[in-house]
Amino acid sequence: MEAETLVNYDRTKELKDFDETKAGIKGLVDSGIVNIPKMFIRPAQELAEELVNPCQKNTEVPTIDLSNIEEASRRKQIVDQVRVASEEWGFFQVINHGIPLSVLDEMIDGVKKFNEQNLELKKEIYSRDPKMKVKFNSNYDLYTSHTADWRDTLTLSFLDSDPDYNEMPEVCRKPAMDYIKCMKKLGVTLFELLSEALGLQPDHLGSLGCTRGCSIVCHYYPACPQPELTLGVRKHADAGILTLLLQNEISGLQVLREGQWFDVQPIRGALVVNIGDLLQMISNDKFKSVKHRALATPVGPRISVPCFFSGHATLLDHPFGPIKELTSEANPPRYKEAVLKEYIAKFLSGALDKKAPIDYYKI
C-alpha cells in the first residue's frame, strides 16, 4: 500500500495546489489538518539522524551587553567579546542595545496582526516575483527545494531605497517603519564593533557599503500538528553580510557548532546577530558564517523578524573580496572577488538547502 502511495504521489501538483490557495501554512492549520502534507515531511535519513544527534542544552550562544559602549575600557571589552563570538560561534545576542522594548513588541504584534487579518487582504500582495519589494508568500523556494518549510513570510525589501510608508501593509506599517529605522542605526554600531574586532578602523566596513540597504523578512510559524516531521526553516547559512533578528518568546532557533545543534533561547528585549557569508568572505574566514535552522513547534505562532544587511543596490556592480589589510603572504586571500549582483543572482536562483553562493568563489 505504501509503495502504491509513493507511485501515485504527485509532488508538483501538491505544491501547485498549496501555492494557488495563497493562504500559506496558516491556511492549512485553519482548515483543521491533523497530518501535515507530504511536501513538508523531511527525508527519513534526516529524521533518523535527529535521534542519534540530540540538541545540546547546556551551552549558550554568547550574550553581549552593549551598555556604556562609549567608555574606552568598556568598548574594548565589548569589541573583544564580539571578536570571540564572531570567530567561534558566528552568532551572539545583544542586550542593552538602545532600541526601545516597545518598538520590538509592536513589530512582533504587527507581524501577528498581518498574518491573522482577513485572508483576502493578504492575497492582494501574494507573489513570487523577486522584483517585488513588498510581498507575502510561503517558502520563496517552494518549487526548487527538497522539502517545504513550515512558515509564512512577509518580505519588506528596500535594498535600493528608503522604505516607502505607503507600500507597507497598513496593519503593520508604523511598527515596520520604526523597526527598520532602529535596525539601521544599530547596524552602524555593530559594523563599527566588527571593524574594530578585525583590527581595522571603526568606519572600515561602513566605508565598503555594508551599512547601506537592508530588508526585513517577517516569518510566522503556526503551531504544527507534527513538528517532529518538518522544520520551520531548513539548515542554511545567511548569504548576506550581517543579520539582526528579533524573535518572540517561543524558542525554535538553533545554531550548528562542531556538529552539534545548540538552542538560541529567546531573551526578552535581546536581538540575535549572526555573521553572513559575505562577511566571512571579506574577513578572509576570520569571522564565521555558520549553519542554523528553526524548528517547527507544537505551540505557536512563533514569530521572527530578521533584518538582512546585504549591500545597497548602488553596490551591485561592486566587487566584494577579502579585505587587503586582512591578507598577507602568510595568509593569502581564500576567495576570488565576487560582483555583488552575480552573487545575489546565484542565491536567488537556488534553494535554501542547495549549494551556497560563497562556495563558487573559494580559492
Q: Which residue has the higher pLDDT, 4 or 35?
A: 35
Contact 232, 150 (CB under 8 A): yes
In this predicted structure, the answer to whether residue 50 has a pLDDT above a threshold of 90 is: no
Residue-level pLDDT at 341: 81
Give the residue ranges of DSSP H helices in the chain: 2-8, 11-21, 24-30, 44-52, 72-88, 101-116, 119-123, 173-197, 204-207, 277-282, 340-349
Residue-level pLDDT at 362: 93
C-alpha cell at 99: 532600541
Q: Which residue has the higher pLDDT, 167 or 331?
A: 331
Of the chain, the percentage scoring pLDDT greater than 90 comes to: 75
| Mean pLDDT on 122-132 | 92
Domain that holds residue 66: 2-361
Which CATH number is 162's domain given? 2.60.120.330
Residue-level pLDDT at 138: 97
| Mean pLDDT on 75-93 | 98
Residue-level pLDDT at 332: 96
Contact 321, 281 (CB under 8 A): yes
Contact 211, 240 (CB under 8 A): no
Structural domains counted in the chain:
1
Contact 358, 347 (CB under 8 A): no
Q: What is the rounded CA–CA span in Å between residue 144 and residue 127? A: 16
Q: What is the rounded CA–CA span in Å between residue 163 and residue 175? A: 12
Per-residue pLDDT tens digits for 311-351: 765 566 778 899 999 999 999 999 999 888 888 778 777 66
Looking at every residue in the chain, the average pLDDT score rounds to 91
Beta bridge partner(s), residue 337: none
Residue-level pLDDT at 351: 60
Per-residue pLDDT tens digits for 251-264: 999 999 988 999 99
Contact 264, 254 (CB under 8 A): yes
Per-residue pLDDT tens digits for 217-269: 999 999 999 999 999 999 999 989 999 999 999 999 999 998 899 999 999 99
